[in-house]
Structure 1
Amino acid sequence: MARIAVIGAGMGAMATAARLAVAGHQVTVYERGTTYGGAVGRYEREGFAFDTGPGLLHLPAVYRDLFVKTGKRPLETCVDMVQADPAIRHVLPHHGIDVALPGASHGGVAAALESAFGPGAGERWNAVLGRARDAWDATRRPLLEEPLRPGARQSLGGDPYPALRRSGLLRRRTPTLAEVADRELGGALAELLTGLVRGYGIDPATAPASAAVLPYMEQTFGSWYVRGGMRALATAVYERCLERKVAFVFGAGVREVLVTDGRAAGLRLADGTEVAADTVVCGIDPQQLPAGSLPWPPEAVPARGDGVPGRITLLLALRGSRPATAVHRTLVHASGAQVTVMRPDDPATRPDEEHEAVTVSAVPGPGTSDPAELLNLAEKAVQGLRERLLWQEVRTPADIEAATGALGGAVPPPALAGAGGRLLQPANTTAVPGLYLAGGWAHPGGGLAHAGMTGALVAGLIVEGAEFRGSQ
């Protein structure tokens, strides 16, 4: 039985801890804050409750597998998880288009698009998603289910999206997602594809066409909500860790990873306390640790620069009941600006049926950096929003950094193939034996599902060693 120290109590870190505890190891999680869940937070006031992180889960099979592998009670007995249907509503005020798309139904989506955008729209959309499926099939295992091996950045650096080639500039270089959307969908329909990708904090103008796998993933596997808010999923994972005898130490920031004889040997906490361990798992952004404390070469953790954005979020308490026709998630597209409006049909989010809790969020940028701008766009999705508004709370990237420690409030995107490998996260192994990376800032990247996948990868590498070839 090895002593394993885990830095951070985010979703990827807890998923790793639970799997390692089942394998018979003594696992202790050290968290700088006062609670678990990382970015999966909750804000409550006057009977209203809001998710302060992800509002929906894609690829729920990741957490189903976690619960199957770590205990007798499956996920569905621990949380009440429901599929959002319609999956999403798109509002394009400048085009006069308002369309809701069903969940996990390629035929239903095509029919809705034909009605909203005209003949041929559904066929063009399905053609693009079909090519995205080919990219998904080509990269799913090395990108999501296997450790990032030496040379993987080269092998995954090429764009797997089988874009239709034409003469001119795009014959001499790989097209971006925005170019593919414009060429293969065109006009307002292209905004649906680029908007879905932009919601992950990825710029369609510079992203490879392989980013189309994200809309494909959503449409194929659906969007899922946990009643009581996504925080309930974090609670379920935390409780599973406790059942497996994982220990948690809150208010325990980590100053340094200790190395003895070239191998990770424990932690030095912020108060100077030293903790011995046989293996260390860093479940936070490793750049949160002081640069001098990183025991691996700087190039092993690529500098992010300013390329990973945070989010600005409005938590809105509204008078008046939620309409029965309201859609859980709406994207409002407007002249380069975009907001996401979340309206869960969940009594746990509001004091009574005569009120509604709404969350509005956006990547800060032109048209989405000021709360008033976000409200203006959100009004396109919520009729009479300003007249119904009781109060609002604003959460900026600086607020997110203060709450979670994420530098600049940055939200890690999922890893993507293409772009020469620059959209891959660092491998789960490091240059120091016994030191591993988990969570959204490690392979295969951010998002609830992807961060959860790191649990299987890191636990497999620790338990089975270098011969581990990935989850089955």
Structure 2
Amino acid sequence: MAFVEPGVAAVEARQADRAKIRAVAAGRRAVVIGAGLGGLAVALRLASAGWRVTVCERYGSIGGKMNQIEEGGFRFDTGPSLITMPWVFEELFEAVGERLEDHIQMVRVAPLCRYLFDDGSRLEMTVRLPDWLASIRNFEGRDAAGFLRFLSMGAAALELSRATFFERSPWERPSMADLAALRRPLPLRTVLPYATVVERSCRDPRVRQVLNRYTTYVGSDPRRTPAMLSVIPAIEMLHGGWHIRGGLYRLVRVLGALCERHEVGIRTGAHVERILTDGNRACGVGLRGGENLPADVVVMNGDAARLPRLLGQTTASAEREADRSLSGLALLFALRGKLDGWPHHQVLFSGDYSREFDDLFERRRFPSDPTVYVNVPTRTDPSMAPEGCEIVFVMANAPANDGDLWDVSMLGEARDRMLARLDRAGLMSALSGADLVAELTPRWLADSFDMPGGAIYGANSHGPRRAFLRHPNKARRVGGLYCVGGSVHPGGGTPTVLMSARITADLIGKYERI
């Protein structure tokens, strides 16, 4: 299956960048810290260009947050649950001489989502925009036009992002093509708070809830996030959402196998305790146990907030909890039975979304009435469970606090609130016979993947600077040190992490000349 590719000029520019990487690599050594999605992707790109690459992963499996739990024939993805912008995945495979369709089967999710509101009403997000707009008209006739204007703003922002923000680091001097793209006019309201523009576009509080939820895709508060992030609903609503047959962890397995084919050394259980430097240049990593691995470049695939610690900068300013993105609490259920009539994705909205965001970002506590996301991938892909069975992933947002222990009492109270929302939506009875396989808390995320407080997307996107000037892909004070992943440019999300890997590999080709 072929997806829409970027413009010819962008493709030719990438081919030229890859040629530069091959010209300078000549068997030079790169060490990647972390085998998350970004780490695997950048390792594969560098290895295919001639670098000798070693990936050090401190834990026992690859994938980072994009992982999987298997129990009695049930396979639960523990990270992302939806794929968007599939052409980004195609480009990665093409860059290393492979075809996506030879390794991965992507299945379009339809409907994209079902939204259930506190008053008992519902909204079905279909794959056809006219049907979706008709559903909105049933709520508030005038909202369809406002919704379309909001979506058009997001589409304009997306086209600009594809020509600039998604292609290169904003910390680099812009090219003539970048400057030409930046001349495209954007609505002035893209710099306003996201929730403000939603409120001006749509009257019905339920439609507002649907749109405001999209900023939580990057762990942020819609009242503090710039409306430029309207690109997120534009991507999903205009280009669709996809599932990977066998689960999204299938992508990790495939990238791991391709890395091995390109002679990338993946070392699990290899805990990097420090980045070695010679003067102001990275020259390798030091592992727990005393082993040192020399390198010409080091790539950090992990939360960028951990870099100062790895560089031994004990005087580095501490990151504020208030600057972190959201974490989450997930309940994983195995059901020996079918959930006929349930869609792949459902969102059960709380009765007061503003109060929920106050709980998360102001009071920094688990919401008293949480919005709950329900993911049943077996509705699209029965292969993820035994025949006649379903897997159910239930999640609510939570703050990323270091001091939250998530002990039995705290976990029990939060679980009860989530299940109460399912019960209010009329879904709990269908899960009465389900087995609770696992509970994934913010503390589990923090401890399993070295994420401060369990913050899923690193820093939040509050304000234009934090939204668009994320941690750079190339360290500014230490030569030969690069970063990749959701906490650095261009940000969190599966396709943007793959963009991060491409941008980082291109920067290595540009700066690491013999």
Bin the TM-score by the shorter chain. Answer: 0.7 to 0.9
Q: Name the CA distance, whole Å, in 1 between partners of 2:512 and 2:242.
A: 34
Match of 1:198 in 2: 216
- In structure 2, the residue matched to 1:134 is 156
Distance in 2 (CA, whole Å) between partners of 1:375 and 1:382 is: 9
1:424-435 equivalence runs, <5 A: 424-430=469-475, 431-435=477-481
CA contact (8 A) 1:82 1:224 kept: yes
Work out which of the residue numbers 87, 92, 95 in structure 1 matches 2:117. Answer: 92
2:84/2:235 contact within 8 Å kept: yes
* Contact kept? 2:226, 2:467, Cα under 8 Å: no
Equivalent in the alignment of 1:439: 485
1:332 maps to 2:348: yes
Match of 2:131 in 1: 108
Aligned to 2:15: none
* In 2: Cα distance, 1:175 partner to 1:446 partner: 21
Counterparts of 2:109 and 2:392, CA distance in 1: 16
Deviation readout 1:426-456 (Å, 9 max, x if unpaired):
1111121111011112111111111111111
Provide structure 2 residue ranges, at least 5 long, that are not aligned to the other structure: 1-26, 180-184, 354-369, 400-409
Task: Report the equivalent of 2:451.
Answer: 406
Structure 2 equivalent of residue 221 of structure 1 = 239
**CA shift digits 1:5-61 (9 cap, x unpaired):** 110000011110000011111011011011111101111222222111111111121
Is the CA contact 1:31–1:253 (under 8 Å) kept in the aligned structure 2?
Answer: yes
Task: Find out whether 1:360 has 2:394 as its counterpart.
Answer: yes
CA distance in 1, matches of 2:253, 2:479: 32
**Alignment partner, residue 470 of structure 1:** none
Once residues 185 and 121 of structure 1 are traced to their aligned partners in structure 2, the CA distance between those partners, rounded to angstroms, is 5
Q: CA deviation at 1:142?
A: 3.0
Q: Provide, for residues 257-289 of structure 1, a one-character-per-residue CA deviation record: whole Å limited to 9, x for no partner.
A: 111132111011111211111111111113335
The answer to whether the aligner puts 1:391 opposite 2:436 as a matched pair is yes
The secondary structure found in structure 2 opposite 1:144 is coil
Identical aligned residues as a percent: 29
One-letter amino acid of the structure 2 residue matched with residue 45 of structure 1: E
Which residue of 288, 291, 306 maps to 2:306?
288
Q: Paired residue for 2:63, among 18, 28, 37? A: 37
Q: What's the offset of the Cα at 1:327?
A: 1.3
Q: CA deviation at 1:198?
A: 2.5
What SS class does the counterpart of residue 384 from structure 1 fall into? helix
1:351 aligns with 2:386: yes
Question: Per-residue deviation at 1:423?
Answer: 5.3
Counterpart residue type for residue 151 of structure 2: L
Structure 1 residues 352 and 359, CA, compared in 2 at 3 Å: closer, same or farther? same
| Worse overlay, 307-316 or 370-379 | 370-379
SS at match of 2:166: helix
Q: How many residues align?
A: 447
Q: Which residue of 2 aligns with 1:9?
A: 35
Q: Could you tell me which amino acid in structure 1 is paired with residue 391 of structure 2?
A: A
Q: 1:219 to 1:415 in 2, by over 3 A?
A: farther
Q: Is the 8 Å Cα contact of residues 202 and 413 (structure 1) preserved in structure 2?
A: no
Which residue among 451, 460, 471 is the counterpart of 2:506?
Answer: 460
Between the aligned partners of 2:29 and 2:244, the Cα distance in structure 1 is: 33
Query: In structure 2, what is the Cα distance between the partners aligned to 1:415 and 1:134?
Result: 23
What 5-or-longer segments of structure 1 have no aligned partner? 166-173, 468-472
> How far apart, in 2, do the equivalents of 1:442 and 1:459 lie?
14
Give the Cα–Cα distance (whole angstroms) in 1 for the partners of residues 42 and 438 of structure 2.
33
Deviation at 1:107, TM superposition (A): 2.3
- The amino acid of 1:256's aligned partner reads R
The residue matched to 2:284 in structure 1 has which SS? strand
- 2: distance between equivalents of 1:340 and 1:381? 14
Q: What amino acid is aligned across from residue 508 of structure 2 in structure 1?
A: I
Give runs of aligned pairs for residues 19-418 of structure 1, distance below 5 A.
19-72=45-98, 74-94=99-119, 96-103=120-127, 105-115=128-138, 117-149=139-171, 162=187, 175-186=192-203, 187-289=205-307, 291=309, 293-294=311-312, 298=316, 305-323=322-340, 325-334=341-350, 335-336=352-353, 337-344=370-377, 345=379, 346-353=381-388, 355-364=389-398, 370-379=414-423, 380=425, 382=427, 384-412=429-457
Q: CA RMSD in A?
A: 2.9
- Classify 1:55/1:204 alpha carbon distance in 2 versus 1 (closer, same or farther; 3 Å): same
For residues 304 and 133 of structure 1, the distance between their equivalents in structure 2, rounded to whole angstroms, comes to 32
Shift of 1:298: 4.6
Which amino acid is 1:128 matched to?
F
Q: CA deviation at 1:147?
A: 1.6
Higher helix share: 2
C-alpha distance in 1 between matches for 2:290 and 2:439:
35
Seen in structure 2, the aligned counterparts of structure 1 residues 414 and 398 have a Cα distance that, compared at 3 Å, is: closer
Partners of 2:47 and 2:462 lie apart in 1 by 32
Q: Residue type matched to 1:374 in 2?
A: M
Structure 1 residues 306 and 358, CA, compared in 2 at 3 Å: closer, same or farther? same
1:109 maps to amino acid: W
Q: Which amino acid aligns with 1:221?
A: H
Q: Offset at 1:303? A: 5.9
Mark the CA change 1:260 to 1:413 in structure 2 (over 3 Å): closer, same or farther. Answer: closer
1:463 and 1:303, CA in 2 relative to 1: closer, same or farther beyond 3 A? farther
Preserved contact between residue 417 and residue 423 of structure 1 (Cα < 8 Å): no
Structure 2 CA distance for aligned equivalents of residues 16 and 427 of structure 1: 15
**Contact preservation (8 Å) 2:218, 2:325:** no
Against the structure 1 CA distance between its residues 47 and 363, is the aligned structure 2 distance closer, same or farther, given a 3 Å change threshold?
same
Contact kept, 8 Å, 1:23 with 1:463, in 2: the verdict is no
What is the alpha-carbon distance in structure 2 between the residues aligned to residue 376 and residue 46 of structure 1?
Answer: 27
Please give the alpha-carbon distance, in whole angstroms, between the structure 1 residues aligned to 2:145 and 2:452: 42
Q: Residues 356-400 of structure 1, C-alpha deviation per residue, up to 9 Å, x if partnerless?
A: 1100111126x9970111122234273623423333421101111
Cα drift, residue 217 of structure 1:
1.1
**Conserved? CA contact 1:211–1:416, under 8 Å:** no
> Residues of 2 paired with 1:202 and 1:76: CA distance?
34
Matches of 2:46 and 2:512, distance apart in 1: 16
1:3 and 1:26 in contact (8 A); partners too: yes
TM-score (norm 1): 0.87
CA deviation map 1:449-469 (0-9, x unaligned): 1111111111111123389xx
Change (3 A) 1:295 1:381: farther
* Contact persistence 2:304–2:458 (CA under 8 A): no
TM-score (norm 2): 0.80
Contact 1:340/1:362, CA 8 A, preserved across alignment: yes
